[in-house]
Amino acid sequence: MALHSFSPGSIIEYVPEYGKNKENDPPCIVKLRYVPFVKTQEYARLLAARTRHYATPDKSGAIIASQEIQKRQFIENIDSVSGFFVGEREVSTPEELWDNAPAGLVYELVSAMEDSQKLRAGIKKEAQ
């Protein structure tokens, strides 16, 4: 397996595993901006700061605040998307993907942004 290194500003073509996507022809491809560890920590600190004051038994305020931070991270760090359809219409923006993708796919993409090992595993393979 080739070693990949990423620099700030790199755009990585990521092919999600969710829903056996890699077997689709063509698969959904999400172009992710590389998120350095420092930026990942910034999102984590923001998340902690926004959710620590919610002491309600149902934690609904904390859930809403955490979703807002995750949506921001998602939208800021996806450059483009192709091959994801809602009915007959292809989704092309991060906002549309956030609004229409299954939670499992969103979770996988956010995880890939935060974990370079996962990101490396999902890099689109070049045709041989």
Domain ranges of the chain: 11-121
User: Taking Cα atoms as reference points, which of 71, 69, 66 lies closest to residue 53?
Assistant: 66
What is d(CA 55, CA 11) in angstroms, rounded to the nearest whole number? Answer: 39
Beta bridge partners of 118: none
Contact 31, 80 (CB under 8 A): yes
User: Which pTM value belongs to this model?
Assistant: 0.73
pLDDT digits (tens, 9 = 90+) for 6-55: 676 788 889 999 999 988 888 999 998 877 767 777 777 777 776 666 55
Contact residues for 59 (Cβ-Cβ < 8 A; gap 6+): none
Helical H runs in the chain? 37-51, 60-76, 94-100, 103-114, 116-121
What is d(CA 74, CA 97) in angstroms, rounded to the nearest whole number? Answer: 9
Residue 60 pLDDT more than 70?
Answer: no
pLDDT digits (tens, 9 = 90+) for 64-119: 777 787 888 899 889 999 999 999 999 999 999 999 999 999 989 988 887 765 66
What token pair was written down for 21? 């996507």
